[in-house]
């Protein structure tokens, strides 16, 4: 017997769950909700870090990129701004990925009525 089956059997024996179907449903529900909560914390951290929504941050990042391209900056200023934009772009990608993953998990929760 594999580890998963043994664990399921133990949970049912201890009357934590009445059967395998209930155990699977409850464990899946818990997992989905933990993923959603984790992503919501990530999104809140980005919003707190930048003090704005993702949409506004996207606009802000675009504005900074335009500034880098159009303004007369010293080499030091250009390098400094370029490095800052690169770090912000990394956050933008992570933020966008978190938003997309949250949307996916919320969809799964709705589909499975979790």
Query: For the chain, what is the largest distance between any 2 Cα atoms, rounded to a whole number of angstroms?
Result: 73
DSSP per residue, 22-54: HHHHHHHHHHHHHHHHHHHHHHHHHHHHHTS-H
Cβ atoms of 32 and 47 closer than 8 Å: no
Domain count, the chain: 1
pTM: 0.83
| 88: containing domain | 3-111
Kindly state the percentage of the chain with pLDDT values over 70.
97
Q: Looking at residues 91-97, what average pLDDT do you find?
A: 98
What does the alpha-carbon distance between residue 38 and residue 54 come to, in Å, rounded to a whole number? 17
Q: What is the DSSP-derived secondary structure letter of residue 70? A: H
Which of the four pLDDT bands, split at 50, 70 and 90, describes residue 1? low
Question: Cβ atoms within 10 A of the Cβ of 46, count?
Answer: 19
Pick left, alpha or beta for residue 45 (phi over 0 → left; psi -120 to 50 → alpha; otherwise beta): alpha
Which of the four pLDDT bands, split at 50, 70 and 90, describes residue 114? low
What does the alpha-carbon distance between residue 64 and residue 70 come to, in Å, rounded to a whole number? 10
């Amino acid at each position: 017997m594999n580890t998963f089956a043994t664990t399921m059997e133990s949970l049912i024996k201890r009357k934590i769950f009445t059967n395998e179907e209930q155990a699977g449903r409850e464990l899946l529900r818990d997992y989905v909700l933990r993923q959603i909560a984790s992503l919501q914390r990530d999104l809140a951290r980005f919003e707190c870090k930048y003090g704005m929504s993702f949409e506004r941050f996207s606009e802000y990042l675009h504005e900074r990129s335009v500034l880098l391209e159009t303004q007369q900056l010293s080499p030091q200023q250009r390098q400094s701004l370029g490095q800052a934009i690169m770090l912000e772009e990394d956050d933008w990608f992570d933020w966008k990925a978190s938003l997309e993953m949250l949307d996916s998990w919320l969809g799964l929760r709705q589909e499975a009525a979790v």
